[in-house]
Amino acid sequence: MGLSAKDALQLRDTLQIAVVKCSERCLYHAAKWYLVHHGYLFKHFIQLTLGVHRAAELLDALPQPSAADFKATQDLPSSYIHPAFTPNHDPAEAALEAKELSRYLLAKSLFDCKEFDRCAAVFLPESSLAEMLGTKVDDATTTEGSEKQRPSVVLPSERALPQISQKSLFLALYAKMISGEKRKEEESEMIMGPQDLGTITNKQLAVVSRFLTKWFDQRKSEGGDVAPSQGFLEYLYGMVLVKEKNDRAALQYLVESVQLFPWNWGAWMEITNLITRVEQLNEVTPKLPQNIMSFIFHAHASINLYQQGGEIANALNDLLVVFPTSSFLLTDKALLYYHSKDLVAAEQEFSQLLGLHPQRIDALDHYSNILYVLNLRPKLAFLAHLCSSIDTFRPESCVVIGNYYSLLSCHDKAVHYFRRALMLDRSCLSAWTLMGHEYVELKNTHAAIESYRRAVDVNRRDYRAWYGLGQTYEVLEMHAYALWYYKKAAGLRPWDGKMWQAVGSCLQKMGRDKDGIKALKRALLADSYYDSSASSFGSTGTIDRMTQMDPEVLLQIAAMYDRMEEEEEAKAYMELCVAQEDGGVTNDQGPGLGDSIGVRADSPGSDDGEGGGERVAAAEGTGVTVATSKARMWLAKYAMRVEDYETANRLATELCQDGVEVEEAKALIREARSRMEQTSMMES
C-alpha cells in the first residue's frame, strides 16, 4: 500500500495538526504516538515548565481587554492572536478560545507542572461546579468501605453550564479526572498487603460524569444551534464510562469520538481495550471512519485478540510501506510472531526494533518474556542493564529486571521487582501475571491465585492469567476449578495446543476420559495449525496435513482409550506415538482426529473433511523419549496378549537398546522367546 507524493504530504500535515491538537489538550501519549517519539513528564521537566508557568501567571494577571479591544483583535490574523495553536474553523469556538487564551495558557502550564486541581479550578472552581451541578461535590464521591451515595441537592435549581470553549472544558475536566486518579493512587494500600482490597475509587469520576452528562443533554436540547463537537469530550466521557464499568455506552461515545476526530490514538486504544471478541470487532468496524487510522486500529485490535493468518500479516506489511520505521507497527509485527509461537522470529524482530530505537522501553517486557523462554541469558542480561540505564523507574524496566532474576532462579528478587513495577503502575498486566508465576515457584499458591486474579481484572483477554489460575488450582487438586479456568484460556486461544492439552489432562484426572480424548485431539490439531502456518509472515494460514505431533499427548489419548477398553484405538495411538521418534506417520492411515471433535472440512487441521489420511513425514523426529518408550512397552505387552511373539520380541529388544525399562524389557524378551520356541516345537 503505497502513497503518492501528494497523499504523503497531506498525511504529514494532518498528523502534524493531530500532534498539536493532542498536545493542546495535554494528551501527551497520543501526541507521542504520532511523533514516534518517547515523551514522559520527568521530574526535571517540571523545572523547564516552571518558566512557562510563571509567564502564564503574569499573562493571566493582566487586565482583561474590553469588548472593543477584543473586537479589534478579531481583524488580526489568527496566528497573531494565538501563534502556537491550531486555528479553529468554527467562529463561535474560535472567539471563545481567543478570549480565554490567557487563562488557557495558565491552566495548561499548571497541568504540565502536575498541579491538576489548580488547573481544573482555572475554568471550573469547586464552588461554581457545585452550583452548576446542584450538588455538594464532596458528597458525589465514594469513600473507602462505603457504598456510592447519590449527590445531595443543595440548590432549588441548577445553574447553567459556563460558556467556555470545548478545548478549555476538556482540559479542566481531564485535569479533574487525573487529580482523582492521583489521589486514588496515594490512598491505595501496599501491593498485595492485608488492606489491598482494590476498593479505592476515583472520587472525581462522579463529578466529571455528571457534568458531561449535563453538557451532552444541553447540546441535544439546543439542536443545531450549537458549535459542532470536536470529539475530545466524547473521548473523555468514554474513558469515564469505562472506569464506571459501563462498557456499552463507553463504546458508543468512543466510536463517536473517532468519527469526529479520527487522529486521537487514545480513543482508538480505549476501543481496542473494550473489544473482547472477534465478532465484536467485526460488528464495530463498519461504524468507524474509513481511513488509515481505522486500518491501523483493525490490525492492532486483531493482534490483541491473538488472531493469526496472512490477512493481518499483509495488513502490517502494507502499513510498514507507508511508515517503514514506525516503532509501533514494528512492535505489532514482533507481537504477531510472538502470539504465533514463532519465538525465534519474534526475537529477531524485537532485536531489530531495539537497534532502530535503542532508547525506547515500550513493549520491552514482551521482549524479555521471549528471551526468558528461549533461555537467552546474555541477551536478557544486556536488556536488563539497558533498561536500568535508561529509566529504572519505568514499569517495563522493572519487569525486564524481574524476568532476568527469575531466569537466575532468584524468585524472591524477581517478586521484588514485579511489585516495584506495580507500585509504579497498578495496571501493569505483565507484572501481575509474572508475579503469579513466581509465587507458584515459591509454593505460595494463595498469593499466586491473587496475582492471577488481579491480572484478569486488568485485562480479561490475558489467557496467561487464566491458564495460571488453572495450573494453581490443579496443584491444589481442585480439578473442577482448574477445568473452568483452563476452558477460559482455551476460549481465548482456541488454536493453542497447550491450552487444550491442559483441558484434556484435567478431564483425564476427573475420570472423564471421553471428553478428555476430544480435548487432546483438538490439541493435536491446534499444534499442527501453528507448526504449518503461524511462523510464516504473510502466508495464507492454511494447512493440508499434520506433521510432527506431541508424543505425550498421543500417549495420553492412548491411555484413556485403554482405560475405556477400546484396544484397537489405543493400539493405533500407541503406534502413532512411537512413530514420532522418526518424524511421524509416513505411510499408514493414522487414527482420525477431526471426526471426533467436530472439525469442519474447511477449517485448519482437516484434510478435505477426513479425519485420517496419508501423512507427510517430518524432517526430524523426537528421538527416543519417555513417552515413546512407554508406548513401545504397551505395544510389546499387547503383542504378547495377542500372541504376536515376534513383534513383542522386536519391541522389547528396541527397549533394551534404548536403555529404558531394561529389566522389564529383558523379561519380555525371555518370555517371548520361550513362547516362540514352544510354538515351533508344537508345529514340528
* Domain coordinates in residue numbering, the chain: 1-64+93-117
Burial readout 562-576 (b: 16 or more C-beta within 10 A, e: otherwise): beeeeeebbbbbbbb
DSSP per-residue string spanning 486-500:
HHHHHHH-TT-HHHH
> In the chain, pLDDT over 70 holds for what percent of residues?
75
Q: Is the pLDDT of residue 636 over 50?
A: yes
| Alpha-carbon gap, residue 554 to 168, rounded angstroms | 65
Beta bridge partners of 610: 607
> In the chain, pLDDT over 90 holds for what percent of residues?
45
In 3-state terms, what secondary structure has residue 153? Answer: strand
Q: Is the pLDDT of residue 457 over 80?
A: yes
Of 375-384, 644-653, 668-677, the range with the highest mean pLDDT is 375-384
| Alpha-carbon gap, residue 459 to 597, rounded angstroms | 30
Q: What average pLDDT does range 293-298 have in this prediction? A: 93
In 3-state terms, what secondary structure has residue 11? Answer: helix
- Alpha carbon separation from 57 to 47, 65, 118, 122, 356 (Å, rounded): 16, 16, 12, 11, 41
Average pLDDT, the chain: 79
For residue 204, the tally of other CB atoms under 10 A from its CB is 26
Distance of CA 505 to the CA centre of its chain: 27
Residue type, 187: E
DSSP per-residue string spanning 33-71:
HHHT------HHHHHHHHHHHHHHHHHHHSPPPPHHHHH
| Alpha-carbon gap, residue 313 to 321, rounded angstroms | 13
pTM of the model: 0.79
Q: Which residue, among 522, 543, 526, 532, has the nearest Cα to 592 in the 3D structure?
A: 522
Higher pLDDT, 256 or 127: 256
In 3-state terms, what secondary structure has residue 610? Answer: strand
**Alpha helix positions (H), 188-291:** 205-222, 232-243, 247-260, 265-274, 278-284
Q: Is the pLDDT of residue 372 over 50?
A: yes
Q: Is the pLDDT of residue 152 over 50?
A: no
Q: What is the pLDDT of residue 535?
A: 40
Residue 31's φ and ψ, nearest 5 degrees, are -65, -40
Higher pLDDT, 324 or 531: 324
For residue 1, the tally of other CB atoms under 10 A from its CB is 12
Q: What angle do CA 440, 370, 467 make, to 5 degrees?
A: 40
- Alpha carbon separation from 643 to 242, 648, 684 (Å, rounded): 69, 9, 18
Beta strand residue intervals within 590-639, DSSP E: none
- Alpha carbon separation from 170 to 108, 194, 661 (Å, rounded): 11, 38, 74
Q: What is the pLDDT of residue 610?
A: 33
Q: What is the pLDDT of residue 456?
A: 94
Q: Which residue, among 333, 338, 337, has the nearest Cα to 353 in the 3D structure?
A: 333
Q: What is the pLDDT of residue 322?
A: 86
Higher pLDDT, 592 or 255: 255
Q: What average pLDDT does range 215-233 have in this prediction? A: 82
Phi-psi region of 148 (alpha: psi -120 to 50; beta: other; left: phi over 0): beta
Q: What is the pLDDT of residue 354?
A: 94
For residue 287, the tally of other CB atoms under 10 A from its CB is 12
Beta bridge partners of 671: none
Beta bridge partners of 135: 153
Distance of CA 99 to the CA centre of its chain: 44
* CA count, 13 A, side-chain hemisphere, 230: 22
Q: Is the pLDDT of residue 590 over 70?
A: no
- The answer to whether 152 and 214 are in contact (CB under 8 A) is no
Q: pLDDT per residue over 61-90, tens digit each?
A: 545 555 555 455 454 444 334 444 567 778
